């Protein structure tokens, strides 16, 4: 199957790894620069305090310092599991790991709005703008929408979400990649 790398080891970034792992993808999570201690603990005891459960052994965790090494393997999908305050930071990180100014498919778990001047802007649009401003080309950015709680997802409780992308073929492809009987 595919190689999926999530940036952000919080509750939703980790929970999203469950359907990916259940679909037999190679799943890695790279913590942010703020999550090094959490990554150490996850690698040591596999317990995620935000989810209150033991994490699947098929999910690999890496400290932020390993980000360039992890991305040398060229994943099929980069999942962005950072908070809304981390959008500027993630844009900078994605620029650093881009392949000659390009990135694989991106899937954003972060929902919300931001201000751009005096206008509201969806966070997915903000990230697209920031990446474009940094010279990233051919940005294929999708977003997850719908009611889904991290703890429910990690416990495989049924929830329904949509994958949104301006390119319908990409949205369908990503949906097939991650869909399970519970997600």
Q: What is the pLDDT of residue 155?
A: 97
What the block records as the tokens of 27 is 């799943």
Q: What is the pLDDT of residue 18?
A: 99
Domain boundaries, the chain: 3-178
Q: What is the pTM of this model?
A: 0.96
Asked if 89 and 123 touch (Cβ cutoff 8 Å), the reply is: no
How does pLDDT run across 65-101, given as a tens digit for each residue?
999 999 998 999 999 999 999 999 999 999 999 998 9
CA–CA separation, 90 and 34 (whole Å):
13
Where the chain has pLDDT below 70, the residues are none
CATH of the structural domain 3-178, one choice from 3.40.50.720, 1.20.1250.20, 3.30.450.70, 3.10.20.600:
3.40.50.720
Q: What is the pLDDT of residue 1?
A: 79
Q: What is the pLDDT of residue 165?
A: 97
């Amino acid at each position: 199957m595919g190689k999926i790398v999530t940036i952000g080891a919080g509750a939703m970034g980790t929970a999203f790894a469950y359907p990916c792992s259940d679909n037999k993808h190679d799943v890695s999570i790279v913590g942010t620069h703020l999550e090094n201690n959490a990554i150490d603990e996850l690698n040591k005891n596999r317990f995620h305090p935000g989810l209150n459960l033991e994490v699947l052994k098929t999910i690999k965790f890496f400290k932020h310092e390993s980000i360039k090494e992890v991305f040398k393997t060229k994943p099929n999908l980069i999942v962005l599991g950072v908070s809304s305050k981390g959008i500027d930071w993630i844009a900078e990180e994605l620029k650093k790991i881009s392949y000659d100014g390009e990135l694989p498919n991106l899937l954003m778990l972060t929902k919300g709005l931001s201000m751009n001047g005096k206008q509201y802007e969806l966070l997915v649009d903000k990230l697209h703008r920031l990446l474009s401003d940094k010279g990233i080309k051919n940005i294929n950015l999708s977003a997850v929408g719908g009611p889904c709680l991290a703890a429910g997802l990690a416990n495989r409780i049924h929830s329904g979400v949509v994958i949104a992308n301006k390119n319908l073929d990409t949205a369908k492809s990503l949906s097939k990649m991650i869909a399970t009987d519970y997600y």
